[in-house]
Amino acid sequence: MTKRIRQMIAALLIPALFVRSARLPAQDDFAADMLRRLRAAMPTAVLTQNPADPDTIMAAPKDDPATTDPDKTRQINLHNIRRACAGASRAECRAMKTRFVRMSSGPEPVPTAAGLRLVVRPRGYIDATKAMLHGDRDHFPVVRSIGDDLFAVLAAASDDMIVLISRDGLRELGLSRAEGWAQAQRQTAAILPPMPTAAEIRPHPRVYQDFDNGAALLIDRAGWTALSKAVGGVLFATVAADDQVSIWVDPEEETLRSLSNMATETCDAHPRCISPHVYRFDDGRWRIAR
């Protein structure tokens, strides 16, 4: 088996870009509790915390604890779930921890061509993933920029996990980069709602909360360019998480401020935050609205 980039859930490698200091649990207590839970769920692994960042945990097999081979190791980041627990009740936090541990400790899905998808992730996620690979470009994820800090990323999906796909991973599937991307694009479009029409979006914003990969709607830049021309206005979007996406046309200044607050609050409360920003569609790209 060649090296693959592991993602236990969409949030695991998103660094703590948007963590607020207020009401955060004590770092040692929170990280220690999560480490205890993870060790109980992963008895065949050695789990160690990064001394510089206790919310980053490395897992390696007990029979080879010093290995740095990405095929044998996992990096588990607690930053997003820490932030989400900070704004949740104790019962909600316990439920989130349980789900997080189950996903983090489960077996990695085996990528297949039929499972290829496109997902949206922020720049910090991409940078953290590349840093883990120490310059091994053949195993960098296949990505395309769609905005100031947003990227479309090639992945293979299962119910609870995704595996980012590299050029090497595509070769294993017998696909070129172009073929893999095109197949992922078709398969992603098949599970997403259709893009709204000008008549639908002009009077009312569109909110997408029932789609596990709703953020992928932002990837169709040609479609959004055509829609922008059809509505005769500027499109704005929030993409706080995969299942928290909204699209607006020319919101008033007060509405824009409310959108920004909503995106920040949603991002703070969501264990799989993508971005707290509001984006403006300009020249075929999603720009952070200033």
Distance of alpha carbon 122 from alpha carbon 101, whole angstroms: 23
User: Is residue 1 assigned to a domain?
Assistant: no
Give the chain's domain count.
3
pLDDT recorded at residue 159: 63
User: Is residue 2 assigned to a domain?
Assistant: no
pLDDT recorded at residue 40: 95
Which residues form the domain of 258? 198-288
Q: Which residues of the chain have pLDDT under 50?
A: 1-26
> Model's pTM, two decimal places?
0.76
pLDDT in tens, 239-260: 999 999 999 999 999 999 999 9
Please indicate, yes or no, whether residues 57 and 126 belong to a single structural domain of this protein.
Answer: no
The first and second tokens of residue 122, run together, are 């922020």
- Candidates 17, 220, 267, 218; CA nearest to 120 is 218
User: Is residue 147 assigned to a domain?
Assistant: yes
pLDDT recorded at residue 246: 95
What integer best gives the mean pLDDT of the chain? 85
Burial 222-241 (b: 16+ CB within 10 A, else e): eebeebbeebebebbbbbbb
Burial 126-145 (b: 16+ CB within 10 A, else e): bebbbebbeeeeebbbbbee
**Among the three residues 150, 174, 191, which one is the final residue of a domain in this structure?**
191
pLDDT recorded at residue 139: 78
**Among the three residues 106, 140, 166, which one is the final residue of a domain in this structure?**
106
pLDDT recorded at residue 27: 52
137 Cβ contact partners less than 8 Å away, ≥ 6 residues apart:
none
Alpha carbon distances (Å) from 148 to 77, 257, 284 = 24, 20, 11
Cβ-contact 152, 146 below 8 angstroms: yes
Please indicate, yes or no, whether residues 130 and 186 belong to a single structural domain of this protein.
Answer: yes
Distance of alpha carbon 172 from alpha carbon 193, whole angstroms: 31
Distance of alpha carbon 141 from alpha carbon 126, whole angstroms: 8
Percent of residues, the chain, with pLDDT higher than 70 = 88
pLDDT recorded at residue 278: 97
pLDDT recorded at residue 11: 32
**Among the three residues 77, 106, 135, which one is the final residue of a domain in this structure?**
106
Cβ-contact 108, 75 below 8 angstroms: no
pLDDT recorded at residue 24: 42
